[in-house]
Amino acid sequence: MEIKIEDSKIIIGINWGIIEEIGWFSAKGFESVDLDLNLIAINSSNEIVKKYNWKNKDSSIIENSNDDNTGDIFINDKKDNEYAIINIDKLETDQKFIVYLNNYTEQELGNLIHLDYRIYSGLPNEPEKVYRFFNLKEIEKFDNSYGIVLGYFEYIENSWYYIKSEKKINLLFGKGKKTFYDKIISIVEDTYLT
């Protein structure tokens, strides 16, 4: 699916909840979940040009929110736990911008009480136009995957488009195995339009 972006500034937001636990005498407890929203810019040779995340919040191109290492507790507040503001007009047109979710604590994402993302114009948590909303728990059964490649932005025929991937990142590290970023790029390559 390709979505034409018609605004000069858009926001990608991730909303997730904790893992609920039931203890003795049905007492509710919870396990915090630390997910991180990331973007990487790659050139035409699929080489990484720059990485954007909550540690790099001073960029005039892509600005990330603060780090959330817990998630919503018991209820879905319908707000982004983390988001990135993208200044579309400042993106380099010869680069692709990959959006992915890093599962820092490597928990089973299917056990989260909720997990979704959206792309929209407006202000953080105040959408004017929603380009994409997707419940990520609809993805095939999760294990303790390293994260999810959400999609990427690409400049095509004088316009920016968002192309969804929405696939989990599974890989084995070690000799002869793909690195984390190799795996992300290979997932995106499967959905390249150009």
Residue 17 domain-assigned (yes or no)? yes
What is the model's pTM? Answer: 0.86
Residue 194 domain-assigned (yes or no)? no
CATH of the domain at 70: 2.60.60.30
Chunk the chain into consecutive blocks of 10 residues (it has 194) and report each block's average pLDDT, rounded to whole numbers: 94 93 65 92 91 80 91 92 96 95 84 94 97 88 74 95 87 55 79 59
Residue 124 domain-assigned (yes or no)? yes
Residue 178 domain-assigned (yes or no)? yes
Residue 76 domain-assigned (yes or no)? yes
DSSP letters spanning the chain: -EEE--SSEEEEEEEEB-EEEE-GGG-EEEE---EEEEEEEE-TT--EEEEESTT----SSEEE----SS-B-SS---S-SEEEEEEGGGS-TT-EEEEEEEETT---GGGBS-EEEEEEEEETTEEEEEEEEEEGGGSS---S-SEEEEEEEEEETTEEEEEEEEEEE----STTSPPHHHHHHHHHHTT---
Q: Which domain holds residue 40?
A: 2-189
Q: Which pLDDT does position 171 carry in this prediction? A: 59
Q: Which pLDDT does position 192 carry in this prediction? A: 65
Residue 44 domain-assigned (yes or no)? yes
Contact between 33 and 192 (Cβ < 8 Å):
no
Number of domains in the chain: 1
Q: Which pLDDT does position 65 carry in this prediction? A: 92
Residue 172 domain-assigned (yes or no)? yes
Contact between 184 and 171 (Cβ < 8 Å):
no
Q: Which pLDDT does position 177 carry in this prediction? A: 46
Contact between 149 and 163 (Cβ < 8 Å):
no
